[in-house]
Amino acid sequence: MASSSFTLPQLVIENITPQIDGGRHAVKRLVGDELSVGADVFMDGHGLIAVRVLYRQHGDRRWRDRAMVYDYNSDHWTGAFSLDAIGRWQFLIEAWPDRFRTWRENLGKFVAAGADVTVDVIEGALLLQEAVRRLPKDVREVVRQASRRLADETLPIPERIAIGLSDRLLQQVQGPLLAGDAARSNVFEVVADRERAGFAAWYELFPRSQGKVPGQHGTFRDTQERLRDIAELGFDVVYLPPIHPIGKVHRKGRNNSPTCEPGDVGSPWAIGSKEGGHDAIHPALGTLDDFRSLVRTAEELGMEVALDFALQCAPDHPWVAEHPEWFFIRADGSIRYAENPPKKYEDIYPLNFWCENREEMWAACRDLLLYWIEQGVRCFRVDNPHTKPLAFWEWIIREVQREFPDVLFFAEAFTRPKRMYGLAKLGFSMSYTYFTWKNAKWELVPFLTEVTSTEVAEFYRPNFFTNTPDILHEYLQQGGRTAFRVRLLLAATTSPLYGIYSGFELCENTPVRPGSEEYLNSEKYEIRVRDLSAPGNITADVSLLNRIRRTNPALQQLTNLRILHCGDENLLAYWKHAPNNDLIIVVNLDPHGAHDGVVDIPIGDLGFGEHQPYEVRDLLDDVRYTWCGSRSYVRLDPAERVGHVLSVKRPE
């Protein structure tokens, strides 16, 4: 006989999807999405079972439920529920032996076989009598009366059978009927972010470079004047590098020179001076009211301002004097500056997040976010999060989103994949990626497949920035204007999240020296006033692609990308699908030469027969083509066009 200390489950619930690391981390979705849930559920014997998904927003006491549907051959159950509010949600799978439906099905079989069902009818009455106390109050009396009539031997058997087999009674008798019937899985979580976490075009600019006079420090008001042009280009987010006072001690000169000359403005990432720290504004940019006005104007134009959250300090940051214990103290008593050999950053002190007084320091970092949230900021680009404790990010993101669930965190984590993915699991809304270094087909295909078609897409949202102030890839340096058009087309059509750093639209591509990814005269260390209408700019490409993205739902999703076979290794072809919106995209990855090839078209999925002609329209120039069959010839000469974005007209 089994010991009473053992649990004796009658049902098995396993292989629940979606989940990350056995439920340790939340999957990610957008508000308004239907979360599709699956599970394998079975039990011993031939009895029927019922399964439902229970769900609620985090903090709610009451569970809502949706019935799940059974696939007989696989013992797999599927269901879905709507994420109708921003924030963290919980769900679990509940299953139980469906005793009444099993009795009802058996009764029907016995009646069809002509068997005597007198005892079976009585057993049904007893089952309902036992179950009535666990049913909702509004159906108890109906079920109680049904139980009495089933047990009433004065009624003819056919009438009693009809009561037991009635659809109305079946609708009333739902849920676990007996004590201990219900089995539940562990609780899993899903985060429903606002739409901009999953679909947005980002534009990065330095406010100090937005003036009109070369060398003269720009302001928030200058930046505000630019917002309308940026909105007309179709961008959703304007990202500003740190806007705080810049340290004067060990300030870097132009092109990262260790010698600072008079007039050198320093790096915005060397945060803090006697003017203040992370909660202050660089005096040359303007006032807090100017910043708030900038945020409001962006909102009026349908955009938002994202701020840099860089947790590091210049040597003259107020925290250095007030809390030296928050930093790394060397054996000689000095504070350690940042290093990434052979690079040295004498103008930056990293924080020691595991210092003895870390609770106070972590709380101070959280309060910085809350301060800027009060000023209207709802999106933060986080500088080098992989160099800070994972536990810190899990804590601070939950702390902030508990009160402000609409706040987004963007990880600037150019590090090893597992660390990038780990940060995403812990709560970052999106992340930079290796996209800037993926330029050939042989490396793009596995990369795109991994981030769009594997478990990674459950928690990791890739933002395909074409360039950054730190990254000017060799492909752009050597490929000229055509290379910029290629990378723009790829970024804008493979991921629903992408961005450019100011100057990309002007095709700036001169490195500080051969073999370096640093820009010559980098804006990180000096003011750069640009002529945004300079000859050779690709602003028309930017505007057109952003307009195409907004009018084609297929480009607003991540997991709908499917690579299409094309024999030429310089042609990348892929299909993006959404209801009533199919796009076949072909890009020539070689900025120097023409290439042609035959693309395999998924005509079966598109609804075409092998010999059925169909029309495609290039959204880049409105040229129409008639194709036929599952293979189509494409030729792309970058001197004329770098790619096709073909809208497929499905059969009526």
Report the CATH number that the domain containing residue 125 is assigned in CATH.
1.20.58.80
**What is the model's pLDDT at position 419?**
97
Among residues 530, 556, 582, which one ends one of the domains? 556
Report the CATH number that the domain containing residue 52 is assigned in CATH.
2.60.40.10
- Residue 175's pLDDT band, with cuts at 50, 70 and 90, is confident
User: Where is 647: in which H helix or E strand?
Assistant: strand 643-648
Question: Is residue 3 pLDDT above 60, yes or no?
Answer: no
**What is the model's pLDDT at position 1?**
45
- Residue 511 inside a domain? The answer is yes
- Residue 591 inside a domain? The answer is yes
- Residue 192 inside a domain? The answer is no
Claim to verify: residue 542 and residue 634 sit in the same structural domain: no
**Is the pLDDT higher at 9 or at 42?**
42
Query: From the CB of residue 12, how many other CB atoms can be counted at a distance below 10 Å?
Result: 15
- Residue 182 inside a domain? The answer is no
Tokens (6 digits) for 522: 């980098």
Q: What are phi and psi of 400, to 5 degrees?
A: -70, -45
Claim to verify: residue 109 and residue 168 sit in the same structural domain: yes
* Percent over 90 (pLDDT), the chain: 94
Average pLDDT, the chain: 96
Claim to verify: residue 54 and residue 126 sit in the same structural domain: no
By residue range, what is the domain housing residue 640? Answer: 561-648
Claim to verify: residue 23 and residue 165 sit in the same structural domain: no
Give tens-digit pLDDT for 487-523.
Answer: 999 999 999 999 999 999 999 999 999 999 999 999 9
One DSSP character per residue, 556-625 reads G-STTEEEE-BSSTTEEEEEEEETTEEEEEEEE--SSS-EEEEEEP-HHHHT--TT-EEEEEETTT--EE
Question: Is residue 98 pLDDT above 50, yes or no?
Answer: yes
Claim to verify: residue 330 and residue 458 sit in the same structural domain: yes
Claim to verify: residue 577 and residue 604 sit in the same structural domain: yes
Question: Is residue 557 pLDDT above 60, yes or no?
Answer: yes
The residue among 339, 337, 333, 332 whose CA lies nearest residue 315 is 337
Give tens-digit pLDDT for 311-368.
Answer: 999 999 999 999 999 999 999 999 999 988 887 899 999 999 999 999 999 999 999 9
Give tens-digit pLDDT for 568-593.
Answer: 999 999 999 999 999 999 999 999 99
**What is the model's pLDDT at position 68?**
97
- Residue 33 inside a domain? The answer is yes
Tokens (6 digits) for 421: 């993915």
- Residue 184 inside a domain? The answer is no
Question: Is residue 7 pLDDT above 90, yes or no?
Answer: no
Task: Summarize the confidence of residues 227-252 as an average pLDDT.
Answer: 98
- Residue 8's pLDDT band, with cuts at 50, 70 and 90, is low
509 touches 540 (CB < 8 A): no
Claim to verify: residue 511 and residue 606 sit in the same structural domain: no
Claim to verify: residue 88 and residue 228 sit in the same structural domain: no
**Of the listed 236, 412, 541, 582, which one is catalytic?**
412
- Residue 191 inside a domain? The answer is no
Which amino acid, one-letter code, is at 521? N
Is 383 among the catalytic positions? yes
Give the span between the Cα atoms of 466 and 463, in whole angstroms.
Answer: 9
- Residue 9's pLDDT band, with cuts at 50, 70 and 90, is low
Question: Is residue 132 pLDDT above 70, yes or no?
Answer: yes
Domain count, the chain: 4
Claim to verify: residue 452 and residue 594 sit in the same structural domain: no
* Percent over 70 (pLDDT), the chain: 99
pTM assigned to the model: 0.95
Claim to verify: residue 314 and residue 264 sit in the same structural domain: yes
Give tens-digit pLDDT for 209-229.
Answer: 999 999 999 999 999 999 999
- Residue 652's pLDDT band, with cuts at 50, 70 and 90, is confident
Question: Is residue 105 pLDDT above 80, yes or no?
Answer: yes
Claim to verify: residue 15 and residue 42 sit in the same structural domain: yes
**What is the model's pLDDT at position 495?**
98
Among residues 539, 556, 573, which one ends one of the domains? 556
Is 394 among the catalytic positions? no
Specify the range with the lowest mean pLDDT, choosing from 130-144, 199-213, 297-311, 393-407.
Answer: 130-144
**Of the listed 33, 304, 308, 383, which one is catalytic?**
383
Give the span between the Cα atoms of 628 and 616, in whole angstroms.
Answer: 10
Claim to verify: residue 249 and residue 272 sit in the same structural domain: yes
- Residue 188 inside a domain? The answer is no
**What is the model's pLDDT at position 445?**
98
Among residues 122, 141, 174, which one ends one of the domains? 174
